[in-house]
Amino acid sequence: MPLDQQYGENSAAAARAPRGGGADAAMDGVAAANSDIKKLRQEQGYMPMAEHLGELRNRLMRAALWIVAFAALSYIFYSEVWQFIMGPVADLIRKSREPGMPAVKIMTTRLGDNFAIEFKVLLLSGFIAGFPMILFEIWRFITPALTAGIRRWGSVILISSVSLFWCGVLFARLVTWKTVADFLVFQWLPPALVISATETIRPEINLTVGDYLSFFTGFHVAFGLSFQLPIVSVILGSMGIISSGLFFRFWRHAIVILCVFSIVVMPPDVFAMLSLMVPMLGLYFLSALLVRMIERRA
């Protein structure tokens, strides 16, 4: 029963308290009503703003500790993680050895870069591997604001969310990243410099590991988070913030926006653009169907 309805019934009960005992009986009734309200608020997860902020701080600290823990665990598999991240660079170097292609070199440029690079790699692997626990902390924080129906599906939502995030990261690495990296490195190459009648050279392409890691991290985390669209839609739909009609009413607009977005952020390659557009469209319509199912169950 909603809190305001319970409050009204308890207040009415206090007002109907027997008046034979005078003021003491009335005060006892009010005290009992207030005690019931306080207990009900605790059961429904109600807390003042200061306690909300304290709970948020605790959850964020736990999430950070989970990232550190999984980063430390990832150190055992550091070589495999390094190959997973830097594998496309090896492909770029191999391509640069073809006739007429500029040389590609991977390097560090500052003191302490080696430590910073290792730290970034472990932090990224800790975030990706520890995403289930990070999501669990977020779920525990927002649970009091969710309906009972959504809370019953908590395990399914968490497992689906983690699976979608990992699928997004793997999809970005195995399907789109190689094409994107190749495009960013070898497109718009400057013309070769003529040294003599028989000799020309091209400027070398020097990639710093730090810049590569930063771009790699942002690209893959963005893909993983974008795959959370169905989960976010289910939660917002259960709270009545969005409806399936909103998705179906603007599906043409969504297609146009995704087409333009794919053209802007992806290389001018049909496969690369479709590799982003098709999954996002599928997630869009999946979100619409899931919200429709929630509306029918309500």
Query: What would the mean pLDDT of 234-242 be, rounded to a whole number?
Result: 81
- Each domain of the chain, given as residue ranges in start order, spans 1-46, 51-227, 229-298
Residues 163-212: tens digit of each pLDDT: 999 999 999 999 888 888 888 888 777 777 777 777 777 778 888 999 89
Q: Which helix (H) or strand (E) holds 200?
A: strand 199-201
- Angle of CA points 155, 160, 161, to nearest 5°: 100
Residues 69-87: tens digit of each pLDDT: 999 999 999 999 999 999 9
**What's the pLDDT at 27?**
62
Task: Give the closest residue to 145 by CA, choosing from 72, 236, 69, 71.
Answer: 236
pLDDT at 123 over 70: yes
pLDDT band at 129 (very low <50, low <70, confident <90, very high): very high
More confidently predicted of 137 and 52: 137
Residues 33, 18: Cα–Cα separation, whole Å: 14
Residues 292, 294: Cα–Cα separation, whole Å: 5
pLDDT band at 7 (very low <50, low <70, confident <90, very high): very low
**What's the pLDDT at 187?**
78
Residues 186, 139: Cα–Cα separation, whole Å: 43
Query: What would the mean pLDDT of 287-298 be, rounded to a whole number?
Result: 83
Residues 243-288: tens digit of each pLDDT: 888 888 888 888 898 888 888 767 666 777 787 888 888 888 998 8
Residues 101-112: tens digit of each pLDDT: 888 888 888 888
Q: Which pTM does this prediction carry?
A: 0.76
